Structure 1
Amino acid sequence: MVPSLLLEVMLIFFLGIGSQWVAWRYRMPAIVVMAVTGLLIGPILGFINPEEDFGNLYHPIISVAVAIILFEGSLNLSFKELRGLGKPVFRISTFGAFIAWILGSLTAHYIAGLSWAVAFVIGGLFIVTGPTVIMPLLRQSKLKPRPAKILKWEGIIVDPIGALLAVFAFEIIAYLTANDPDGTKLLMFLAASIFAGIFGWFCGRGIGWMFETGYIPEFLKSPAVFTVVILCFTVADEIMHETGLLSVTAMGITLANMGISSVADMRHFKENISILLISAIFIMLTASLQLETILHIFSPSIIGYVILMMFLVRPLSIFVSTIGTGLTFNEKLLVGWIAPRGIVALTVSSYFATILLAAGYPDAEILTALTFGLVFFTVIAHGFSIGWLAKKLNLSVEGRPGTLIVGSNVFTVELAKSLAKVNVPIIIVDNSWERLKVAREAGVPFYHEEMLSEQTEYHLDTMPYEYLIAATDSRSYNSLVCTTFMPEYGRTNVFKVSPYDKVYGTTTEIVSKVGGRILFRKEVNLEDLIDKINNGFVLRQTTITEQYTYKQYRDEKDEETVFLYIIKPSGQIKFYSEEMRTVPSNGDIIVSLMPRNKEKAKIQARLESE
């Protein structure tokens, strides 16, 4: 056992983020790595048992963390995303959820052997997927926008619905089995659910209004939002258990659709907090399991139940509910397969196991094992299969990581053409139709819109593009674009042309120090690159081998040559940058901008020597 609670907290966060890193480094599903890590340090090796060690604080910590995670997910649910997807999302979240509830309850009764009362409670809970498991899978698989948005919306909306269905089923059962039936509790549940939704909307509108009118300073906005989220969840949950999830979801959706810029500014910070909480909570939940529970999940009844839930209940509910919605067969097949269960299922099932046992249902003892079995098997099966299945169904963004170029001019068009030759997805974005003439005439993919506008965010599919290059004639705009998209693309994948000034030798502007890495060389700005293209410079590929080393290649080039990027044998692109020291190795292809005449002369000399 870990000697102190402080050391245990450190270990949970360290292993949670460490699991995320291992998953990223070796391209594995993060939720699988976290689940295995939690099992190893908990029931298998016995290092920690958070449920025992944290005592009475364990369940409140889990509940607040789930509320924040669900709020962060719902904060991304803008109704503008639903253009063309409103019908399938609505059907899946309502009719599909109802079908999954009924079929799941029947399966729990006839296959898992649960009583009707317990089966309908757990059947309602198991319709959930949730952002804790869906978001990591979407980041990993790079799905096309339609199926990705459907899975995201379903996961966030159905999470509170599943918890409420379980509570509703329990209240119905308590009402029907009571010696003296009293509908007061049932009416209280319905009233509490309505109150939770309205209270969440009120909290969202209230905090949004305070942001817009300046009643909250910038440095307090993030702390204020988190405080109101906890307030919103706690008030609703104290009135009726599990309605707090509905309340924070309503608050998040309300804020997401108010169009407040400061909310968008905080989104990446909240996403980082959410990733930290998901990592820690998943470790805590799996580490708190008992070894007997883990062994119990391999019983024939639980395995049979899990198989039917995965291969019959989920696909059938999706295919039936999406009839006439315009989804293709491949999209239905993918959405019908992907339904991993996560933190909400684990936390809520433990609550219902307790109250059902207290209510006189002894078969509720297996709920924890049943829930973990469904969570573990779905996380592994869907985590490892989503990428492969998406490619087979042509629903993933395939090919090499692409490059998005902001700014249309003769240099960016030539750069885009060279990238396209090696099958790198490219697109040029510019708000000037006149400047885009160069791209149009060259047949380069383009998008006519302001890169920083809200329209671009919802209409331009940025999924295929891993790199962003800002190459307009405005230094300030380039820095602004890079700063805006740095959280999305990553600091090492965002570039801008050099803000170098020929007159002063170097720029004293602040834009040289913020937003993005300087592309190529600091001394070569956009004007230089355009001049070189206009003066006949060409882009050439050269392969580095044992016979023709990188040192030889550099020695042959003069000062006018600009090294642009390297193509690794794996297909990865590495752009030359002032802040990155890139050293090519054998098998790498270097693309450079060089004088046409000098290149011809060198080629001729080499041919003559051979």
Structure 2
Amino acid sequence: MTELENSKNSDGWTSLYFIGMFEIAGLLVLGFFAQWLAWRIKVPAILPLIIVGLVFGPISSLFTPTGEKLIDGDRIFQGERLFDVVSISVGLILFEGGLTLKFKEVKSLATVVRNMIFYGSVVTLIGGALAVHNIMGFSYQIAFLFGALIIVTGPTVIGPILRNVKPNDKISTILKWEGILIDPVGALIAILIYEFIVSGKPNEYFTLFALKTFATTVVAGVFVGGLFAWFLYKILTNKLLPYYLRNTVVLGIVIMAFALADILHAESGLLAVTILGMILANLKIEGLKEILSFKADVVLILISFLFVMLSSRMDMADLEKLMNWESLLLFLVIVLVLRPLVVFLSAIKSELNLREKIFISFICPRGIVAAGVASIFTVKMVDLAGQAGLSPKIVEDAQMLLPLTFMTIVGTVIIQGLLAKQVANALGVTRKKPNGILFLGAGETARTIAKYLKGKGIPVMLGDTAKSNVNECRTSWLPVYEGSLFSDEGLEEMDFSKFGKLFAMTSNTDINVLGNRIIGKEIGDGNVYRLASKRELEITNLENPKNLLFHGKYDFISLTQAFRRRTKIQEVGVNTQEDLEKILEEKSDSIIPLLIVHEKNAFPVTEDLVEIKEGSTLAFLPRV
């Protein structure tokens, strides 16, 4: 009889079952609350998640009558169950990260990324081990295990930081690729060291053991990842699944790939799902963006759940051991010595300048992979202490792995999450606001306006499904995309670091509205504009949207007719808001106001007029 069966009451319920269900629900609610709080106070979500877990975990034990935690991850998931839940969750997180890795992004920076993986692993492993051994007095076995744990960065933390800071493309690409690719590498190294510790293998056999294990893990991970990528590609491209089942079936197949890889060779699942995601990301698969969106939602739930659960597992005694100068010194060595050393070694003979190297050195937050793997090893080493013949010193040090790892996570997230934007601005490495303009529709009106903007040095890109319009663009030497700009393929092709506005100018209002909605998610709802519809012009008592092009007084037909009569765009200088309003009032019947141009930026004339800078130009079309 199990403990659960023995504790059943007359109604078939158990206090243990009730507590478990309550704590699982509490973990989810607290995780979502922490996510909301992070959004509200504009900090990386990982910080509130860990704090909430500590408050309702170890800190709550100070205030309960029995000294028990309000929420304790060890009461919900014990032993191997905890290992399985954390492993699969981390695997899904890495798969979602792999789906964002495009080979074309990293072509020019592949050497730097490769070096970051190599030097990041070697320098952090050895440097972290020596630091924790000499500063904290850890045994060499656990010191090297800690060094392996802090190899991994935090892709779930780096993503929000990059979105908030918006550094230039080189920095974003390097940090994103490093954050995802180094996670399975770091986890694999940590597993090798863990196996060495608990196996009791003599030192002279460790090199052969490590090489054999590493090679087998890589082969198993690459084989399973590639096999399942091919399988999913065939299913998705041949449309063998109904739309409503596609996301859930993909989720199940990813979990199956993870499990199969682990069966073939222990701990190769993380590599397999990362490879699987990377391959799918670089194949043309219809609906991949929706799959990525679904996986992002799943990852959000997993992260919210895991961080609260893992941080609740710690005890106050462990936290108190970190309240000393040794812990602070160890943290400073990791952040101020090891990370810059990795970056500057990796960037030798690269195109990165000094300011970019300094900023990349500043950004290296740890995340869920480090926390998850540390939790797994802590549980396993304590449970196997007697069986593996581990010394009391090793077991004692192993119990400090999780608190030390969380200290590193919290410290890096607080400093880098809160200060990254200020550091980027001070170094001047933020991405310049894109001044290019996308045109949804490449009709003659759009082409005429695009030619004018191109002549002003403003990047333009037109998109159309009509072959005749595409050919006219190519004849006029205008950049053009043949297809729908807001399709999955179109969104992947567009460089949104260059194009910051959309002019939807097709003859179909529904397409214009849909294009604004979809592309608005990429460049911001305030940067998408469209032509007015015939209905909006005819019904004057309706309040029209503020983002209608050309003062909201022309639909596709009327604008096309006007441009066929006059194709020459003219200009007049405007220095103030009053200048513009006066021109629009006095010449409302004789001109069609098109754009406000200032230096190499252009804004459409809408009902919600932009702020006019001195030296601006109003571009307009004279009316016959």
TM-score by shorter chain over 0.5: yes
2:426 counterpart letter in structure 1: K
Q: Determine if contact 1:64/1:230 at 8 Å carries over to the other structure.
A: yes
Question: CA offset at residue 114 of structure 1?
Answer: 1.4
Structure 1 residues 194 and 484: CA distance shift in structure 2, 3 A: same
1:121 counterpart letter in structure 2: L
1:104 counterpart letter in structure 2: G
Question: C-alpha separation between the residues in 2 aligned to 1:172 and 1:3?
Answer: 37
Question: CA offset at residue 206 of structure 1?
Answer: 1.0
Aligned match of 2:154? 130
Question: CA offset at residue 450 of structure 1?
Answer: 4.5
Aligned match of 1:21? 39
Question: C-alpha separation between the residues in 2 aligned to 1:399 and 1:183?
Answer: 51
The alignment status of 1:155 with 2:174, answered yes or no, reads no
**Match among 108, 116, 124 for residue 84 of structure 1:** 108
Aligned match of 2:77? 55
Structure 1 residues 519 and 66: CA distance shift in structure 2, 3 A: farther
1:364 counterpart letter in structure 2: A
Question: CA offset at residue 482 of structure 1?
Answer: 3.7
Q: Determine if contact 2:196/2:206 at 8 Å carries over to the other structure.
A: no
Q: Determine if contact 2:28/2:305 at 8 Å carries over to the other structure.
A: no
The alignment status of 1:524 with 2:554, answered yes or no, reads yes
Q: Determine if contact 1:342/1:375 at 8 Å carries over to the other structure.
A: yes
> Which runs of 5 or more structure 2 residues have no equivalent in the other structure?
1-18, 62-68, 464-469, 540-545
Aligned match of 1:102? 126
Structure 1 residues 263 and 178: CA distance shift in structure 2, 3 A: same
**Match among 479, 487, 495 for residue 529 of structure 2:** 495
**Match among 214, 226, 247 for residue 201 of structure 1:** 226
Correspondence list, 1:17-416, <5 A: 17-23=35-41, 26=42, 28-44=43-59, 48-52=70-74, 54-56=76-78, 60-174=84-198, 177=201, 187=212, 190-237=215-262, 241-357=266-382, 358=385, 359-360=390-391, 361=394, 362-398=396-432, 404-406=438-440
Structure 1 residues 314 and 182: CA distance shift in structure 2, 3 A: closer
Question: C-alpha separation between the residues in 1 aligned to 2:299 and 2:593?
Answer: 40
Q: TM-score, normalised by structure 1?
A: 0.76
Q: Which moved more, 1:364-373 or 1:156-165?
A: 364-373
Question: C-alpha separation between the residues in 1 aligned to 2:421 and 2:562?
Answer: 43
SS in 2 for 1:430: strand
Question: C-alpha separation between the residues in 2 aligned to 1:58 and 1:324?
Answer: 45
Question: C-alpha separation between the residues in 2 aligned to 1:88 and 1:219?
Answer: 41
The CA deviation string for residues 38-69 of structure 1, in whole angstroms up to 9 with x for no partner, is 44454445785251453346554443332222
The CA deviation string for residues 244-293 of structure 1, in whole angstroms up to 9 with x for no partner, is 21121111112222322232442233233333433443344344443444
Question: C-alpha separation between the residues in 1 aligned to 2:311 and 2:451?
Answer: 48
Question: CA offset at residue 99 of structure 1?
Answer: 2.6
Q: Determine if contact 1:338/1:382 at 8 Å carries over to the other structure.
A: yes
Question: CA offset at residue 207 of structure 1?
Answer: 1.4
Question: C-alpha separation between the residues in 2 aligned to 1:401 and 1:29?
Answer: 29
Question: CA offset at residue 210 of structure 1?
Answer: 1.6
Percent identity between the two aligned chains: 27
Question: CA offset at residue 127 of structure 1?
Answer: 0.9
Q: Which moved more, 1:149-158 or 1:408-417?
A: 408-417
Structure 1 residues 435 and 262: CA distance shift in structure 2, 3 A: closer
2:278 counterpart letter in structure 1: I
Q: Determine if contact 1:498/1:518 at 8 Å carries over to the other structure.
A: yes
Structure 1 residues 247 and 400: CA distance shift in structure 2, 3 A: closer
Question: C-alpha separation between the residues in 2 aligned to 1:553 and 1:292?
Answer: 73
Question: C-alpha separation between the residues in 1 aligned to 2:28 and 2:592?
Answer: 48
Question: C-alpha separation between the residues in 2 aligned to 1:212 and 1:262?
Answer: 10
2:373 counterpart letter in structure 1: V
Q: Which moved more, 1:527-536 or 1:240-249?
A: 527-536
Q: TM-score, normalised by structure 2?
A: 0.74
Question: CA offset at residue 243 of structure 1?
Answer: 2.5
Question: CA offset at residue 388 of structure 1?
Answer: 2.4
SS in 1 for 2:307: helix
Aligned match of 2:14? none
Q: Determine if contact 1:175/1:182 at 8 Å carries over to the other structure.
A: no
Number of residue pairs aligned between Structure 1 and Structure 2: 565
Question: C-alpha separation between the residues in 1 aligned to 2:577 and 2:75?
Answer: 58
> Which runs of 5 or more structure 1 residues have no equivalent in the other structure?
441-445, 507-515, 598-610
2:125 counterpart letter in structure 1: W
SS in 1 for 2:554: coil
Q: Which moved more, 1:35-44 or 1:164-173?
A: 35-44
Structure 1 residues 265 and 306: CA distance shift in structure 2, 3 A: same
SS in 2 for 1:85: helix
**Match among 460, 479, 482 for residue 428 of structure 1:** 460
Q: Determine if contact 2:473/2:479 at 8 Å carries over to the other structure.
A: no
1:8 counterpart letter in structure 2: G
Q: Determine if contact 2:461/2:481 at 8 Å carries over to the other structure.
A: yes
The alignment status of 1:8 with 2:37, answered yes or no, reads no
Structure 1 residues 518 and 91: CA distance shift in structure 2, 3 A: same
1:11 counterpart letter in structure 2: V
The CA deviation string for residues 75-134 of structure 1, in whole angstroms up to 9 with x for no partner, is 111222222122211222224422322222222222232111111122122111132111
- Aligned-pair Cα RMSD in Å: 4.8
SS in 2 for 1:49: coil
Question: C-alpha separation between the residues in 2 aligned to 1:592 and 1:41?
Answer: 60
Structure 1 residues 373 and 224: CA distance shift in structure 2, 3 A: same
Question: CA offset at residue 452 of structure 1?
Answer: 4.6
The CA deviation string for residues 558-604 of structure 1, in whole angstroms up to 9 with x for no partner, is 7999999999xxx9x99958xxxx7999x9xx99999999xxxxxxx
SS in 1 for 2:122: helix
